[in-house]
Each structure stands twice: as structure tokens, then as C-alpha cells.
């Protein structure tokens, strides 16, 4: 009766464990890294879409649009002036400069860009571009990018 394993038996077990480690290592990466990252991307994209819907409704009721220096968008409506400001992952919407009518969205990896389109003297449309900067293994990629063009209510009234 023998007391140990043969060298070939130990090598076979090690070989099978190595193949299983490669397979489960990739599966482990998906569950530990990729799934939470995808969840974060979807959550930030949902937040950006909520922000864009607010911008769309504000622009639809706007008389004029203007873009101040920096990252601010000013929308003049019948109820007052609404401003949107983007600062390091935080987007702030203020109405007439008051703190009680302000809404903020936190999107640490989200980016938003806007450009006011002019017809004549006043801004009549705004182009809003949103995306999420995803860093993966040292590479920065734009994920879930969207581009929207919204016209003011005064343009629709003139077109009728």
C-alpha cells in the first residue's frame, strides 16, 4: 500500500486547477469589475437624460437664449431667467438666482456641452451634447454620447 501520490497525478491536478483559474478569473473580473462599472454608467446616463429633459422643457418655454463666459447657459422665459452651470461633475439649475428654486445633478464622470445657435440677434436654439468619460485600463472613452438640438418657443410661434 502506497502513502502518497505519483508525480503525474499531482501535475494533472495542477493542470486542471490552472485551467479552472483562467476560466473563473475572467468570470470573477466580469462580476467584480464590469458589472458595477456598467451599472454606474447607466445610472449617470439616466441622470444626464433627466437633466436634458429639464433643459428641453425650459428651452421650449424660452424667449431668448444666451451663453455666458464659462460653462453657463442662460434661458430667459416669461417667469424669469433660468441658468444652468456645470462645475466639476455637478450641474446646477437656478431660477432668477434664488437658492430655493435650484436643482442640482451630480454626475462625477458625466460631461455636458452646450452651444447656443443664433438667428439674427437672439439665440433661438441650443445644442446639448452629453457623454460619460469612462476610464478603463488607462484609456478614456466617451460612452453613451447623445446630441440634442432644442428650439425656443418663439421659433415655433414664428413658424406657424
Tens-place pLDDT, residues 117-133: 876 667 788 899 999 99
Q: What is the pLDDT of residue 68?
A: 66
pLDDT above 80 for 103: yes
Q: Is the pTM of this model over 0.85?
A: no
Q: What is the CB-side half-sphere exposure of residue 124 using CA atoms within 13 A?
A: 11
Look-up: residue for cell 457623454?
A: 131
Cα–Cα distance between 97 and 30 in angstroms, integer? 46
Phi first, then psi, for residue 27 (nearest 5°) are: -65, -40
Cα–Cα distance between 23 and 41 in angstroms, integer? 26
Region 65-88: what's the mean pLDDT? 81
Cα–Cα distance between 45 and 132 in angstroms, integer? 7
pLDDT above 60 for 74: yes
Cα–Cα distance between 103 and 44 in angstroms, integer? 16
The per-residue pLDDT for range 16-51, each reduced to its tens digit, is 999 999 888 888 888 888 899 889 999 999 999 999
Amino acid at each position: 500500500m502506497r502513502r502518497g501520490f505519483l508525480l503525474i497525478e499531482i501535475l494533472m491536478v495542477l493542470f486542471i486547477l490552472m485551467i479552472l483559474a483562467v476560466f473563473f478569473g475572467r468570470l470573477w473580473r466580469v462580476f467584480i469589475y464590469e458589472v458595477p462599472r456598467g451599472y454606474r454608467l447607466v445610472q449617470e446616463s439616466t441622470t444626464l437624460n433627466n437633466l436634458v429633459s429639464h433643459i428641453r422643457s425650459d428651452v421650449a418655454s424660452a424667449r431668448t437664449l444666451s451663453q455666458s463666459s464659462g460653462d453657463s447657459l442662460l434661458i430667459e422665459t416669461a417667469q424669469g431667467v433660468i441658468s444652468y452651470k456645470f462645475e466639476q461633475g455637478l450641474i446646477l439649475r437656478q431660477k432668477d438666482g434664488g437658492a430655493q428654486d435650484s436643482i442640482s445633478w451630480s454626475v462625477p464622470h458625466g460631461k455636458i456641452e452646450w452651444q447656443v445657435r443664433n438667428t439674427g440677434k437672439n439665440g433661438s436654439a441650443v445644442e446639448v451634447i452629453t457623454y460619460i468619460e469612462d476610464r478603463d485600463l488607462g484609456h478614456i472613452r466617451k460612452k453613451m454620447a447623445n446630441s440634442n438640438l432644442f428650439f425656443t418657443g418663439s421659433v415655433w410661434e414664428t413658424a406657424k
